[in-house]
Amino acid sequence: MAKFKVKKRNIAIDMTPMVDLAFLLITFFMLTVKFRAPQAVEVNLPSSIADTPLPAQDILTISVSADGRIFFGVDSKHTRLAILEKIKDQYGYKFSEEEAKIFSLLPEIGVPFEQLKSYLSYSEADRKAIDKRASIPVDSANNQLKQWILFARYSNPKIRIAIRADEKAPYPVIARIIETLKEQKVHRFNLITTLEAQPKS
């Protein structure tokens, strides 16, 4: 009996092809992944059936938080530095090299010009705390968003304007922004949304 007993053996599966495939996929995803740039303001985008992808460059984003605070951002470092130059010229603020460097790395900014210098001198954590309540003024008496857009369009004439607003953002704020854009003869802009399935007619 003992002679016919099937020998218990550990079955060794050759895992090499699987590992190969796994690493191939990892490489693929690592190379294709594009991390979202950290944003100064959390935005819950509304969905729409619009399926035109957002261009990757030459984009000016006007972000609006759920409580209606406005932030401004441009995508390239180059443009940011050019904008900072314009702010220097226009308002006579002086920025150190360090501050300019910090500014060039900020994806979005939400402080009025008067506070910009002190904002740049703070630590990152302090800046985050300020971002929680900051907003660019858009009142008709002191429309700084208009200035920001003007500087950005001077710095990069090709720039396209996109509004990235939270779905709960109050409409009057959006209306103010559209009004500001109209004042600058910008009649064509984009609303950033997430994709939703097209309903069947």
Binding site for other proteins (CB under 8 A): 15, 18-19, 22-23, 25-26, 29-30, 32-33, 35-36, 45-54, 64, 162, 164-172, 174-175, 178-179, 181-183, 185, 187-195, 198-199, 201
Q: How many CB atoms lie within 10 A of CB 1?
A: 4
**Closest distance to other proteins from the beta carbon of 191 (Å):** 4
Phi, psi of 107 (to 5 degrees): -70, -30
Comparison of 120 and 173: residue with beta carbon closer to other proteins: 173
- Least Å distance between CB 139 and other proteins? 16
Nearer to other proteins by Cβ, of 23 and 122: the residue is 23
**In a 10 Å sphere around its CB, with 0-12 CB exposed, 13-18 middle and 19+ buried, how is residue 73 labelled?**
buried
DSSP, res 2 = G
Rounded to 5 degrees, what are φ and ψ at 56? Answer: -80, -25
Q: CB-wise, 51 or 97, nearer to other proteins?
A: 51
Torsion of CA 46, 50, 55, 60, to 10 degrees: -40
CB nearer to other proteins: pick between 99 and 166: 166
CB of 110 to other proteins, least distance (A): 17
| 85, 189 Cβ separation under 8 angstroms | no
Rounded to whole angstroms, the Cα distance separating 127 from 135 reads 13
CB of 99 to other proteins, least distance (A): 30
Select 25 or 129, whichever has its Cβ closest to other proteins: 25
> Shortest distance, CB of residue 134 to other proteins, whole angstroms?
19
Torsion of CA 24, 27, 30, 33, to 10 degrees: -60
